[in-house]
Structure 1
Amino acid sequence: MRYLLAAALVCVLTLMISASILADEQGSPSAAIENSLGMKFVLVPAGEFEMGSDESPDVLSKDYPQYERGRVQELEDEAPVHRVRITQPFYLGQFEVTVGQFRKFLEASGYILESVADGTGGYGYNANYDPTKSDSGDAFEGRDPKYSWRNPGFVQGDNHPVLNVTWNDAVALAKWLSEKEGVKYRLPTEAEWEYASRAGTHTRYASGDNPESLIKIANIFDSDAKEDWPRWTQFALSGHDSFAFTSPVGSFAPNAWGLYDMHGNVWEWVSDWYANDYYAKSPVDDPQGPADGIARVRRGGSWHTWSLYARSSYRNWLSPNSRYILVGMRLVREVSER
């Protein structure tokens, strides 16, 4: 009798474990783990996906008629679509790194941000600033020491995504956390980021192909944001997401893997150097990007991003020491200890 009960118990446990493994393979959300700064991480399963986009300028022009032809012709770096295999699971930040978490890092580490070290500051929103009358023509005012992660020109709480951080600042945070906790933290690769953003989907957005579907999952340029940018009204989504600037992280629905704000809110630094022809020679297994370059990739779009540029496949880049009102980060925590 004891043997039969033991055998039955083993059978039940085996079925439970098998069901758990199957759930991971199918990409269902896993329970989040939390680190010493209060960052929550979700396990992203190993797997394969088709990276990039092969949509033609004709197709994109038809579906995004408000954009001039030149804009859709500049997206050739999303091709060719190529198979990528992520061979190891990894933990990815469930949310973008917040103002409050970044403050804790600075207070505990004594790290000096690049914008402070070089004395030039960051970028910010100024309602009286006119891009057409500035030397740079940039949409936002800066660089200026009055703008920083503390002050982007509008109110942010501790639960909003941190802004005006450079790629080097993001790497410094990951390095400090790794040393403090004995677990490897880093920026995601570009391939890991797109894989996690798609979460098993093959559409332009995790919410589908229709740009208006973003209202349910993303804080991007819409009818709330356009009030401050009337000259770009034609690029705004017709819906309202209730935020003219950044939103608290996790304000919208997550994707299928339990990740929030993979589209919109802030652009997110990834680890790769940028090269427009990299996809043509990318390895299948765990691509790391070019060996060198002059700019690092950022992904996902922001609260000020037009829908064409919030697609899962869209690529953008900045120099590693750039700091901007639209750019933040999300970290990877590796599964195995060092």
Structure 2
Amino acid sequence: MHTAHRRPTARSSRHAAWAAGVALACAAVLGGCTTAPPPTKPAAHAAPASAADSLGIAFVRVPAGEFLMGSDESPATLAKAFPHADAKRLVDFKDEAPVHRVRLTHDIWMGATEVTVGQFREFLRLSGYVPESVRDGTGAYGFNPDYSPPNNQRADLFDGRDPRYSWDNPGFPQTDRHPVVNVTWNDAVAMARWLSEREGVVYRLPTEAEWEYAARAGSRTRFPAGDDPSVLLTTANTFDSETALRWPRWREQAGAGSDGFAFTAPVGSFKPNAFGLYDMIGNAWEWCSDWYDENYYAQSPAEDPKGPAEGTVRVRRGGSWHSWPLYARSAFRNWNTPSTRYVLVGFRLVREAAVAPRP
């Protein structure tokens, strides 16, 4: 079984043009809540969030605040909400508990969208960095309509590893506005370090706690837009009926409708959440900085948790264009080795200071 994703994945949907999207992404928001927070709405009086940096990455201020992290839904409750789920898989979600209060003590500036193909391409051009999938000669994974695993029970959904697949060729068309995929955790960290040197301010991957706080944006529902999986069809690019045509074995896991995208969607194609962030759910899994530990929540510090001190696999969150609703929940946790490159996995960056106005 291919280890690039621990569990199957989910669905998707279209909204405004990218130009309008970036404008909305640069709207500032209210500060964090101090109790179990209600949905947060942008503050009409707040100052605009950061502009784009030298690579064109737009950053949104995510205010310091408190939230309840994780989920304590029982397997029985989830089975009612997701009737086609494998009952054996539902017990895997014990790593989402216990629900615990987390306080983030500093504002951060988070990428309004996932890093795009065009932004990653420019990073490679300017830095000379060679992505792991190219450097080690083994390539990555890609969609191949003729791919047939030797054993139909295997979870291999994509062809690879193969040198013909990379960040530049996932086996389906992408423009410079699509989220870059097939990038390793090491590739993402390399881009963050290079940008830190270039811009003179720290860039990094979000911690798992920062990611979930930003994704929820004040919500406590399964998905930022609500509890019903149907909300994904209009708010996120996940596993829909059109994508299921290519994987009929899992058609029951898909929604009844189409979000307009069979594969990745251009970033900003759906409505932003209350913090002005796009595609926190769906489109591409997003690397976090933390090592993964299924028991970490029981010992996580209350303020600014950064994950275990060591480990063997890194956290990724948010689901992808191929994620089933069950795996696109805000609380769902997943992981991979730092050198994993997969057709569903990309990243989003955090910047520790606002972008200074440019002449």
Return the offset for 1:22.
8.7
Q: Name the residue aligned to 1:128.
A: 146
1:194 pairs, out of 188, 204, 212, with 212
**Following superposition of structure 1 onto structure 2, how do residues 50-65 of structure 1 map, counting pairs within 5 Å?**
50-65=68-83
Where 1:36 maps in the other structure, the secondary structure is coil
Return the offset for 1:290.
0.3
1:269 aligns with 2:283: no
- Give TM-score scaled by structure 2 length: 0.86
Q: Deviations over 1:229-279 (max 9, x none)?
A: 111001001121010000000001110111000000000000000000000
Q: Name the residue aligned to 1:12.
A: none
Q: Name the residue aligned to 1:156.
A: 174
Return the offset for 1:149.
0.6
Q: Distance in 1 between matches of 2:271 and 2:287?
A: 22
Q: Deviations over 1:142-188 (max 9, x none)?
A: 11000001100010000000010000000000000000010110000
Q: Distance in 1 between matches of 2:272 and 2:300?
A: 29
1:23 aligns with 2:30: yes
Unmatched tracts of structure 1, length 5 or more: 1-19
**Following superposition of structure 1 onto structure 2, how do residues 321-336 of structure 1 map, counting pairs within 5 Å?**
321-335=339-353
Q: Distance in 1 between matches of 2:28 and 2:144?
A: 51
Return the offset for 1:216.
1.4
Q: Distance in 2 between matches of 1:144 and 1:134?
A: 20
Return the offset for 1:137.
4.5
Q: Name the residue aligned to 2:109.
A: 91
Unmatched tracts of structure 2, length 5 or more: 1-26, 33-39
Q: Please tell me the root mean square deviation across aligned C-alpha atoms, in Å.
A: 1.8
Q: Name the residue aligned to 1:251.
A: 269
Amino acid at match of 1:28: P
**Contact 1:174/1:186 (<8 A) preserved:** yes
Identity between Structure 1 and Structure 2 (%): 61
1:284 aligns with 2:302: yes
1:211 aligns with 2:225: no
Q: Deviations over 1:23-68 (max 9, x none)?
A: 3455527534210000000000000000000000110011111012
Return the offset for 1:136.
6.4
1:226 aligns with 2:233: no
Q: Distance in 1 between matches of 2:87 and 2:196?
A: 45
Amino acid at match of 2:203: Y
**Contact 1:183/1:336 (<8 A) preserved:** no
Q: Distance in 2 between matches of 1:249 and 1:21?
A: 19
Where 1:106 maps in the other structure, the secondary structure is helix
1:69 aligns with 2:83: no
**Contact 1:24/1:45 (<8 A) preserved:** yes
Q: Distance in 1 between matches of 2:174 and 2:108?
A: 30
Where 1:183 maps in the other structure, the secondary structure is coil
Q: Distance in 2 between matches of 1:191 and 1:273?
A: 12
Q: Distance in 1 between matches of 2:268 and 2:297?
A: 31
Structure (1/2) with the larger helix percentage = 1
Amino acid at match of 1:295: V
**Contact 1:27/1:45 (<8 A) preserved:** no
Q: Distance in 2 between matches of 1:336 and 1:39?
A: 12
Sort the Cα spacing of 1:135 and 1:117 in 2 relative to 1 into closer, same or farther, 3 A: farther
Q: Name the residue aligned to 1:305.
A: 323
Sort the Cα spacing of 1:201 and 1:91 in 2 relative to 1 into closer, same or farther, 3 A: same
Amino acid at match of 2:315: V
**Contact 1:32/1:94 (<8 A) preserved:** no
Sort the Cα spacing of 1:178 and 1:100 in 2 relative to 1 into closer, same or farther, 3 A: same
Q: Distance in 2 between matches of 1:219 and 1:139?
A: 18
Higher relative contact order (CA 8 A, sep 6+): 2
2:156 pairs, out of 127, 133, 138, with 138
Amino acid at match of 1:291: A
**Contact 2:263/2:322 (<8 A) preserved:** yes
Amino acid at match of 1:68: D
Number of equivalent positions: 318
Sort the Cα spacing of 1:134 and 1:180 in 2 relative to 1 into closer, same or farther, 3 A: farther
1:174 pairs, out of 192, 216, 224, with 192
Where 2:202 maps in the other structure, the secondary structure is strand
**Contact 1:123/1:142 (<8 A) preserved:** yes
Tell me which structure has the larger Cα radius of gyration: 1
Return the offset for 1:322.
0.3
Where 1:335 maps in the other structure, the secondary structure is coil
1:44 aligns with 2:62: yes
- Give TM-score scaled by structure 1 length: 0.91
**Contact 2:217/2:273 (<8 A) preserved:** yes
Q: Name the residue aligned to 2:3.
A: none
Where 2:56 maps in the other structure, the secondary structure is coil
Q: Distance in 2 between matches of 1:266 and 1:332?
A: 16
